[in-house]
Each structure stands twice: as C-alpha cells, then as structure tokens.
Amino acid sequence: MTERSKMPEKEFLVIPAIDLMEGKCVRLEQGDSSRKTQYGVDVAEVARDYERLGAKRLHVVDLDGAFSGTPQNLPAIAEIRRVTTMEIEVGGGVRDEDTARKLFDLGINYVVLGTKALEDPAFLRSMLEKYGDRVILGTDARNGYLSTRGWTKTLEVRAKDFLAALASDVKSLTVIYTDISRDGMFTSPNFEALEDLLIVPNIEVIASGGVGSLEDIRRLGTLNNGKLRGVIVGKALYDGRVSLADALAISLSV
C-alpha cells in the first residue's frame, strides 16, 4: 500500500462521508433508518472520486454496526482502504478494543468511538492512553443531550457538560459533534452549540450534521479559533447541493 498523505497540524478539513448499510451507500434523515435514501453507486468508486477531487480524509460510518453493536460492513471498508491513500476514520459499532484493533489492522487511521465511550468514560480514557489521537469521540446530541446506540437511546446528560467534565481528565481529544435533528436535513449546522464546545479546554471539534450549502462551510470558518478541525459533509454531496471541489477550495482560506 502506498504511503498515506499527512496533514499539516490545525488544517481545516472538509471531510466527505460515506454511510454504509448492507455494503451500500445510504443517507438517513435525522438518523432514522426508516427514512433512508440508497444511492446506486459503487462505494469504492465514490471514495476514489473524493480523493481525486482533493479530499485528505474520509469519514465512514457502518450504520448496521451502529444499530447492532458490531461492525457489519468490514469488506466494504477494507475495499475503500485498498483503493485509496487518504486518511480514513471509521465509526459504527466500535464498542471494544478488539474491534478497534481490527480496523487499525485494515489500515484505518482513526476509529470513532460512540456508544461505549459515552456510556463508559473509563473505556474511553483507556483507549486514549493506548492509541492517542487515533481515537476520536463521536458526540451525537438530540436537543443538546447525548444519544447512543445508533441514536435510539438518549442519555440524561448534556453533551457540553459531558465534554467539560471529560476535558479535565484528558490531555487532548478530537470530538465529532453531530446535531441529530439537523443530520441529512440541509438546515445548517448548529453554530450555537459548536461555539459552546469550542471553548471547552483540551477539545478539538469536527462539525457534523446539517450542511446544505457552501455558505454553511464559509460560516464555520468564522467560528474557527484553531480548535475547529473540520466539517463532515454527506448528503449535500450526493444530492448535488455542495460541490466537493468548491468546498475544499473554501477550506483553504479558513
């Protein structure tokens, strides 16, 4: 496998997303599996196209894994890894160290921990001690409260409060913050929530959910205080609302 690209520190990334169900490319509205759009495209070819356009990192979610608790799309993930050299982060069903290790062994650069890490912060701390910045925390929120288990369970803990408490115990942590109510809806990211998270010490943030225009990406740039690492864009790319090439061009000025 060829050497993978390395990114300058603090570079603001536009990260295209591929969500997988049964090996196919899909997008859900607000995380609801009954509101699914399936795209008749080859998953590996989509990943290759994103890399050709200049993407430096790809966000992959195993939605079957998120709902079931164990990854279900490893062959598709392995094929994406085989045909691309960009960095890849994978989440969905990563609820123990063995699963994370399998993904690392496939050549995946980062694992996104969600349910297990949110419900058992000691597990998260252990993974951070062993794997450092290869671990990303997936912080999904519904009305400000943490949501787990494929967005089917809402915890009685506010995302900001959880991260603020966690920040005192970690040296650094990258967090993907997803506002579930906006995911797949093109209603713009939750800028207010992101502003609150960006002041939490020791935390860097990747925004997710709601991007529907290039203007959303420009506005995210105005929030960037060196701790906003990037934005994940999914359905807006598939539906043609956002051009990845244009979005990447905007990111260079952030």
- Percent of all residues in the chain with a pLDDT value above 90, rounded to a whole number: 67
* Closest C-alpha among 108, 102, 113, 93 to residue 175: 113
140 classed as catalytic: yes
Query: Which among 207, 213, 212 has a CA at the least distance from the CA of 194?
Result: 207
19, 62, 64, 179: the catalytic one is 19
Is residue 2 predicted with pLDDT exceeding 50?
no
Our answer to whether residue 19 is catalytic in this structure is yes
C-alpha gyration radius of the chain = 16
CA distance 23 to 51: 20
Q: Which of 62, 64, 140, 179 is catalytic?
A: 140
Least confident stretch, 6-20, 82-96, 110-124:
6-20
User: Is pLDDT above 70 for 30?
Assistant: no
CA–CA separation, 153 vs 147, rounded Å? 5
CB 243, CB 49: distance < 8 Å: no
Q: pLDDT, tens digit, for every residue of 128-178?
A: 999 999 999 999 998 889 988 877 788 889 999 999 999 888 888 999 999
Domain locations in the chain as residue ranges? 13-251
pLDDT digits (tens, 9 = 90+) for 60-104: 999 999 889 999 999 999 999 999 999 999 999 999 999 999 999
Q: Which CATH code of 3.10.20.30, 3.20.20.70, 3.40.1710.10, 3.30.43.10 fits the domain covering 13-251?
A: 3.20.20.70
Closest CA to 208 of 216, 160, 244: 216
Please compute the mean of the pLDDT values over residues 32-61 and round it to a whole number.
86
Q: Assess contact for 133 and 174: CB atoms under 8 A.
A: yes
Average pLDDT value for residue range 198-206:
94
Beta bridge partners of 141: 146, 179
pLDDT band at 181 (very low <50, low <70, confident <90, very high): confident
* pLDDT surpasses 80 at 218: yes
pLDDT at 226 over 50: yes
Instruction: Cite the DSSP H helix spans in the chain.
Output: 43-53, 63-68, 74-83, 97-105, 115-119, 121-131, 159-167, 191-197, 214-223, 235-238, 244-251
Q: Are 180 and 153 in contact (CB under 8 A)?
A: no
Residue 172 contacts residue 163 (beta carbons within 8 Å)? no
Non-local (6+) Cβ contacts of 95 within 8 A are 69, 70, 113, 115, 116
Is residue 235 over pLDDT 80?
yes
What is the average pLDDT score of the chain?
89
What percentage of the chain exceeds 70 in pLDDT? 91
Provide the pLDDT for residue 7.
42
